[in-house]
A = this chain, B = another copy of it.
Amino acid sequence: MKPKIKDVAKQAGVSTTTVSRVLNGEKYVKDDLKAKVQRVIDELGYSPSHIARSLVRQKTNLIGIIVPDLTSSFYATILSSVEQTASQAGYFLLVCDIHEDTGKELKYLNIFKEMRVEGIVIMHEKLDDEIRAFLDKLDIPVIFSSVRPADQKFMSVIIDDYSAAYDATCYLIGLGHERIAFIGGDMRDVTSGQSRYAGYRKALEDNNIPIEDDYIRFGDYKPQSGYERMKELLASRVRPTAVFAVSDDMAAGAMNCINDHLLSVPDDISVIGFDGSQLTELVRPRLSSMEQPIEEMGKVTVLSLIDFMTQQQTGFKKDLILKHRLVVRDSCRPVVKQQET
């Protein structure tokens, strides 16, 4: 089998303690001994067992992460940034892609616990009671990234989704639009569902634009749903002149739908997305979007989590609000006031 520290010790004619010391780069080992031990280690191809170490050191250097859907570039990009930051800090990532399966989430949370991960990041917020209960009595630091569950108990790294949606809508209003349709997300999501919807409504209200229920639809953040909701929107008695979709994927779907109906973006209808994904530069016209600082979000998530893990300060937990930013590209244009009442 694999060589163990004992084998190295015997082979080098020293005690396991000494081997352990050179392994961990401690001083107080004579240079010649150190060299000899190192040579034996290389010869044997010895590699210390992280497992045994974890057991005695009570430290695994593991972080567990729960992603809703790796197939989505938004989550994949955060994950990438999270991995980057974690590995730089000497932590390793145990990844679980739940694919909307709550059962799998609970199972993994349990596994994370058994694995003695030192921290957990969660990227979705549809917490059912069972999971909430589990999290409540869990003594491992948990941080939410890009979402914020209703409970105040957890730390979150997010943008101000309400303001971001408000700002996006105001941008459209500033361009002269009044018939502004909204393609929202899942209303069970407080962050990306409810908050963005509320921001949209508030913007209209503040500008004295009546809210037209017919212009409001909800999708699942994916392109296909954007396409289909847009199709419904196009069937409205009076067509909207602008659409705000709360994900770039849905916005892209909506754009395609508009095109397939022989209408033009932005000449006939302006479209604005949300997220600031790579897609914005790939579609034509390029998609204006309310950008989330995705990379930074991943980075801040891990850094805060590690902070939380090491400081042991179970009290003080605060949300971290990152800044959103409107990136104007080519998919929106001032409304042509043709049919002013």
How near does chain B come to A83, taking the closest CB pair, in angstroms?
A: 5
Who on chain B is nearest to A113 by CB? B47
How far, in angstroms, from A45 to B83 measured CA to CA in the complex? 30
How near does chain B come to A209, taking the closest CB pair, in angstroms?
A: 31
How far, in angstroms, from A223 to B281 measured CA to CA in the complex? 9
Cβ–Cβ contact A52 & B50, under 8 A: no
Q: Which residues of B contact A259 (CB under 8 A)?
A: 284
Q: Which residues of B contact A97 (CB under 8 A)?
A: 79-80, 83-84
Please tell me if A95 contacts chain B, counting CB pairs below 8 Å: yes
Beta-carbon contacts under 8 Å, A40-64 to B: 45, 47-52, 54-55, 60
Cβ–Cβ contact A94 & B96, under 8 A: no
Q: Which of B55, B281, B282 contacts A279 (CB 8 A)?
A: B282
Cβ–Cβ contact A77 & B83, under 8 A: no
Cβ–Cβ contact B51 & A55, under 8 A: yes
How far, in angstroms, from A55 to B94 measured CA to CA in the complex? 19
Cβ–Cβ contact B51 & A60, under 8 A: yes
Please tell me if A296 contacts chain B, counting CB pairs below 8 Å: no
Quick one: given A45-B137, A92-B111, are A69 and B80 in contact (CB under 8 Å)?
yes
Please tell me if A10 contacts chain B, counting CB pairs below 8 Å: no
Cβ–Cβ contact A115 & B76, under 8 A: no
Interface size class of A (residues with CB under 8 A): 35 or more
How near does chain B come to A267, taking the closest CB pair, in angstroms?
A: 15
Cβ–Cβ contact B70 & A83, under 8 A: yes
Beta-carbon contacts under 8 Å, A87-118 to B: 87, 92-97, 99, 104, 108, 110-111, 113-116
Who on chain B is nearest to A140 by CB? B2
Quick one: given A47-B114, A80-B71, are A92 and B94 in contact (CB under 8 Å)?
yes
Beta-carbon contacts under 8 Å, A257-284 to B: 259, 278-279, 281-284
Please tell me if A306 contacts chain B, counting CB pairs below 8 Å: no
Q: Which residues of B contact A54 (CB under 8 A)?
A: 51
How far, in angstroms, from A71 to B97 measured CA to CA in the complex? 16
Cβ–Cβ contact B80 & A114, under 8 A: no
How near does chain B come to A100, taking the closest CB pair, in angstroms?
A: 12
Q: Which residues of B contact A92 (CB under 8 A)?
A: 94, 96, 111, 115
How far, in angstroms, from A236 to B336 measured CA to CA in the complex? 41
Q: Which of B50, B70, B80 contacts A80 (CB 8 A)?
A: B70
Query: Can you list 6 A-B contacts (CB < 8 A)?
Result: A47-B110, A70-B79, A73-B76, A83-B95, A93-B94, A93-B96
Give the interface of A toward B (CB within 8 A).
2, 45, 47-52, 54-55, 60, 69-71, 73, 76-77, 79-80, 83-84, 87, 92-97, 99, 104, 108, 110-111, 113-116, 137, 139, 223, 252-253, 256, 259, 278-279, 281-284
